[in-house]
Amino acid sequence: MSFIADLVARLADLLEPLFHGSAMAAAIVLVTACVRLLIHPLSRAAARGQKARAKLNPQIAELRKKHGKNPEKLQKAVLELHRKENVSPLAGCLPGLFQLPVFFLLYHLFSSSDIGGKANALLDHKLLAAPLGGRWADALGDGGVLGGAGLVYLVLFALVAAVATFNYRRTKRQLAGAPLPAAQGGEQMPGAQAMAAMTKFMPLMSFMTLFSVAVVPLAAALYVVTSTTWSAVERAVLYRNMPQGAAGAMATAM
């Protein structure tokens, strides 16, 4: 982790002529963007896989009618269909799985008070008036909401709220039109109520980032905000041709 810390510090030195005292914050944003850029080919592959699965929805609907009263048999039939069509049901998980180790490494780096037994010098830097090692509670205690550090957090909260609202509306559109799985005779399949609750809850998960930004150190918050914003733009571009209700239909099928 000391190597990563040195790399970020050197990058901040290169950015200092442009960003001056906020060079370390700019370096965090740039490192986050580079990580997401490295993962982008996996995201593109995941998008292609999800679109391929969406094309199977009519066949999956027929399987639901045929095996509606036997969820275990339905799941086996759906997996067999995916295998036959050479479509992986797990392809969409790859970007998240590859990103997790990097996320935890950078999060630990920017939230630890010491590295290798020495004080974490990265957290001594600031984004304008807000220390990168501080939290929103610290900003409220040092000048309040409209203080120098408080205003930095207000801008971050506004950005996160805008991205969350965009994601919320997009997820609602994706899930719209996905009927609950029903057995023959109109009876709901087991788990349909749970699926309905999840469908209502999923769009609201976009706003969890607001809580994260409020409680983690500012350096880690910058990573979260940058990564979330990147994800929103990336998914909007890669999934722009997804049929309405396709995401929800695939979830209910599995």
Residue 29 and residue 234: Cα distance in Å, rounded? 16
Is the pLDDT at 155 greater than 90? The verdict is yes
Is the pLDDT at 191 greater than 70? The verdict is no
Q: Which residues contact 86 (CB under 8 A, 6 or more apart)?
A: none
Is the pLDDT at 162 greater than 70? The verdict is yes
Neighbours of 243 (CB within 10 A): 13
pLDDT higher for 30 or 121? 30
CA end-to-end span of the chain: 39
Helix (H) or strand (E) holding 126: strand 126-127
Q: What pLDDT was estimated at residue 249?
A: 44
- In this structure, are residues 218 and 109 in contact, taking their beta carbons and an 8 Å threshold? no
Taking residues 52-71, report their average pLDDT: 73
Least reliable range by pLDDT among 38-42, 99-103, 123-127 = 99-103
Highest mean pLDDT among 46-50, 117-121, 138-142, 168-172: 138-142
Highest mean pLDDT among 68-72, 185-189, 228-232: 228-232
The overall pTM is greater than 0.85: no
Q: Which residues pair with 188 in a beta bridge?
A: 182
Is the pLDDT at 247 greater than 60? The verdict is no
pLDDT single digits (tens) 102-147: 667 777 777 777 777 777 777 778 898 898 888 889 888 888 888 8
- Sign (positive or negative) of CA dihedral 209, 211, 216, 217: positive
pLDDT single digits (tens) 5-23: 788 888 999 999 999 889 9
Whole-number mean pLDDT of the chain? 76
pLDDT single digits (tens) 193-240: 555 555 566 556 777 888 888 888 888 889 889 988 998 898 888 877
Residue 79: both structure tokens together: 């997996």
Residue 226 and residue 167: Cα distance in Å, rounded? 15
Is the pLDDT at 187 greater than 50? The verdict is no
